[in-house]
Structures are given as C-alpha cells and as structure tokens.
Amino acid sequence: MDTAPIPLLEAVQGKGQAWAEIAPRYGVTNPDPPWKTSLAATCECLATGGALAALERRQAEDRLAESTYAAVPAPERQLLALAHTLLRRGLLDEADLARRMQAVRARLLAS
C-alpha cells in the first residue's frame, strides 16, 4: 500500500470540513455525518464485489490512519483512507473525484 500523500486528499485536511465542525453551522445536532451510512455501504459493496477485500481495506485504513491521515478525525479519516486506496488502485479517477467534490461543495454553499 502506497501511503504517499495524494494532493487532492491532502487539501481536504485541516480546513474545518470535519462533520463536528460543519454540523453546527447548519443547525444539525446528529453526531453522525449523513454520508456515514453510504460509506459503510460502499465498503460492503466493494468487499462483496471483490474489488477490495474488507481485511485489505481495514489494513490500508489502519496504515493510512497512523501516517498520512493521523490528524483527521474519524469517520473522515476512514473516508479519506478509502478514497486514497481506491485512487492508488486505479478504481477511482482523481480528476473525477475532484469534480464530484466541487459539485458537493457548491451544493453545500448554495444552501
């Protein structure tokens, strides 16, 4: 597992984007981010489909949590670790991820 930083994911860290920091701005009191369920489902689908074994994902997540994303709170750390792993394995395209992140950011800022 290549734990070298990925610039796109590095840019997300430490910018006040953790759920605990965002939720109060929007008056949300649920401690779990709305995407946490989708993240768990995505991990299950990847494992079931054989694209990324659960044990492999957990090991990669642990290595990345100790190094590259140590300063990021959970569950954001899990999300970044999964994105990192998918990018490194070529299952996710960095340019496409950047476009999707921008679209989500635009929707969030529009509300």
Q: Where are the domains of the chain?
A: 7-110
pTM: 0.87
C-alpha–C-alpha distance, residues 111 and 107, integer Å: 7
C-alpha–C-alpha distance, residues 54 and 7, integer Å: 25
Digit-coded pLDDT (tens) for 54-99: 899 999 999 998 899 998 888 899 999 999 999 999 999 999 999 9
Alpha carbon 90 to chain centroid distance?
A: 16
Alpha helices in 23-75 (DSSP H): 36-48, 54-66
Instruction: Check residue 75 and give its pLDDT.
Output: 87
Instruction: Check residue 42 and give its pLDDT.
Output: 92
Nearest to 101 by CA among 20, 3, 19, 9: 9
C-alpha–C-alpha distance, residues 59 and 74, integer Å: 16
More confident residue, 16 or 91: 91
C-alpha–C-alpha distance, residues 94 and 84, integer Å: 10
- Given a cut of 70, whether residue 24 has pLDDT beyond it is yes
